[in-house]
Structure 1
């Protein structure tokens, strides 16, 4: 095996390409060689990037041309008690962030929820989607294809099932635009986030469709999925986990934790999250749900780009007599407890904090529990920020924490 400096010299001379280093050395040596090369070429000190604690070989399925790892501070909020369809009991919420005051804010919301005895949570739907687009001659052919799909969904499901032991095709919905036919496939992917599973299964189903109909596949993803982009279809029909959480706080609890009243929080939510979001044309009607989703995603090895979908949430607040009812419903939360970045060591530990690492028994229950805990964490964040706005202490809180 070659030394890191030798490998770096070979890349500089043109004898090797950056992506070929792992074929000539173990993973950690290849990473060190690549880091040496980049440090030399850019005249930078990359020692901090090189100070990572895991075996680079464990990350080979997660990244290419690796030079090191970025460290993000991780804090915990909680404890947080959840009464869910799969999540039950008390856990802490790991949050990876560089935004000062975020963990403190979520922690304050957790304190209020704990004072109320915990929050309710439910996963309403679990369905990962992939939507290929096909070319047809005209709308007559489009109608033929759409009809065939509706009549032969079982055949498509059988074709998809040949590619996976875990995923299950739930439904296929046709959408026609002139000579384009989109098919939105929806899968139960159990404890995996399932994007790759859905893509591979859909490819097999598309091959059958092309054999049986006049449709020609143009792209395996036609953006009606819709993955990693703000999309009304995800807000309406859901994607990944559709999950909700709610809690009821007494007037005393609101005043004690947030220094304001139920009425003031309700008005802040209505004018900011509902009216303000509507005026802005927002797809998310919430204060900052994406803050919590992003921090949990980074800590637990989720696909960070899917925070775009995870921020697709609606927060409601109502005064009920002398109590405050608050809820968060996240329409498209793409999460998994197996596969992808979840298998890396620090991400494993963060999932362990939540008690959801690995596959559930029965399959899917760990990812459901994970989604429910995220929803309650988002609810804690919403309550805390709305409370700070209603009490007019948002800016002073950031000043006090030195942000």
Structure 2
């Protein structure tokens, strides 16, 4: 078997390219050879990067030109009881982050929520989108394309679903801008996040549109999807899973555990998360929901870039007669429990920790449950930060933890 040093020498001699190494050796040897090349050319010490605990071949579908693995500390918050449409019971939430005090803050919030009986959560809408853009001769042809699509959605569904054993086309929404027609396809992708599934299925449907209408496909993604960018359409219509978690916390618990009042938290939320966010022109009306989304995504093998959509969240707080009502609604949480990075060993272990690895029964149940658990975590993060702000304890909490 070819050794790493020999492969590295061939790369540096120009005989091989870095991306060709797996054709000449196993994946771990190829990764070791890349480290040798990089160390020789940059004087970097990659010994820690090269120390990882999984077979590099497992990551083949997740990464190219692998030379090692980046390790992040992962902490745990919980357990907390989640009464959801799919989630049911006590859950731990793994959080991978380098932000000191985040796990402690979420853990504090979950502890308070648990003392109030746990959180309730529901996925209210689900669907992964892909929106191709077509060119027409003008508005007359654009209108003709829209009419045809509306009358032949069943044919588009048949073409799209012929490419997948699991995906289901839910609807197609047309948008017209002059001679551009955008078709926003929305799919039920079950327990997968489903971006690849949606793209492949939509490509097949686009062939039908081109064959039956004057439209010519310009790009499989026309940015009305919208993926990995701030977009009002995701905040309004949702993408992936739209999920809400809420809790009612008795006044005595708020005062004893959080050292503030329901009225103070509600006012802080209104002035900060609602009015302040509106003044800033923000698409997210929350304190830091993206913190929990990012940390849980990294821990469980989701696409971290989709934290952009995950920050589309609105937090509400209300002083009620019997305590503090708090909710967080995440409009576009894109995640899965199968496929992508969920197959990597440490990420798979994190999903096992939550109890939601692999496909659910019925299909989609595990993805829904994971969304509900993450929403409960985001709720806890909002509660803890709002309480710290309302009680003027934010700076002292970071100081106490040495951050």
CA distance in 1 between counterparts of 2:323 and 2:264 reads 12
Q: Deviations over 1:115-138 (max 9, x none)?
A: 001010000111000000000000
What is the aligned partner in structure 1 of residue 395 from structure 2?
395
Q: Deviations over 1:24-75 (max 9, x none)?
A: 0000000000011101110011011011000001101110000100000000
What is the aligned partner in structure 1 of residue 229 from structure 2?
229
CA distance in 1 between counterparts of 2:160 and 2:256 reads 54
What is the aligned partner in structure 2 of residue 293 from structure 1?
293
Q: What SS is found at the alignment partner of 1:7?
A: helix
Q: When the two structures are superposed, what TM-score results if normalisation uses the length of structure 1?
A: 1.00
What is the aligned partner in structure 2 of residue 9 from structure 1?
9
CA distance in 2 between counterparts of 1:81 and 1:50 reads 39
CA distance in 2 between counterparts of 1:256 and 1:63 reads 48
1:34-183 equivalences under 5 Å are: 34-183=34-183
Q: CA deviation at 1:2?
A: 1.1
What is the aligned partner in structure 2 of residue 309 from structure 1?
309
Q: What SS is found at the alignment partner of 2:57?
A: helix
Q: Deviations over 1:119-171 (max 9, x none)?
A: 10000111000000000000000000000000000000000011000000000
Q: CA deviation at 1:255?
A: 1.1
CA distance in 1 between counterparts of 2:148 and 2:29 reads 54
1:190-339 equivalences under 5 Å are: 190-339=190-339
Q: CA deviation at 1:321?
A: 1.2
Q: What SS is found at the alignment partner of 1:332?
A: strand
Q: CA deviation at 1:282?
A: 0.3
Q: What SS is found at the alignment partner of 1:222?
A: coil
CA distance in 2 between counterparts of 1:391 and 1:322 reads 20
Structure 2 gap ranges (5+)? none
How large is the RMSD of aligned CA atoms in angstroms?
Answer: 0.5
Q: What SS is found at the alignment partner of 1:336?
A: coil
CA distance in 2 between counterparts of 1:256 and 1:346 reads 38
CA distance in 2 between counterparts of 1:65 and 1:214 reads 42
CA distance in 1 between counterparts of 2:112 and 2:282 reads 28
Q: When the two structures are superposed, what TM-score results if normalisation uses the length of structure 2?
A: 1.00
Query: What is the number of residues matched between the two proteins?
Result: 403
Matched, 1:31 2:31: yes
CA distance in 2 between counterparts of 1:66 and 1:218 reads 33
Q: CA deviation at 1:81?
A: 0.5
Q: What SS is found at the alignment partner of 2:182?
A: strand
CA distance in 1 between counterparts of 2:208 and 2:19 reads 36
Q: After TM superposition, what 4+ stretches of structure 1 lie above 4 angstroms from structure 2?
A: none
Q: CA deviation at 1:322?
A: 3.7
CA distance in 2 between counterparts of 1:85 and 1:148 reads 37
CA distance in 2 between counterparts of 1:172 and 1:256 reads 51
Q: Deviations over 1:368-402 (max 9, x none)?
A: 00000000000000000000000001011101101
CA distance in 2 between counterparts of 1:296 and 1:23 reads 35
Q: What SS is found at the alignment partner of 1:324?
A: strand
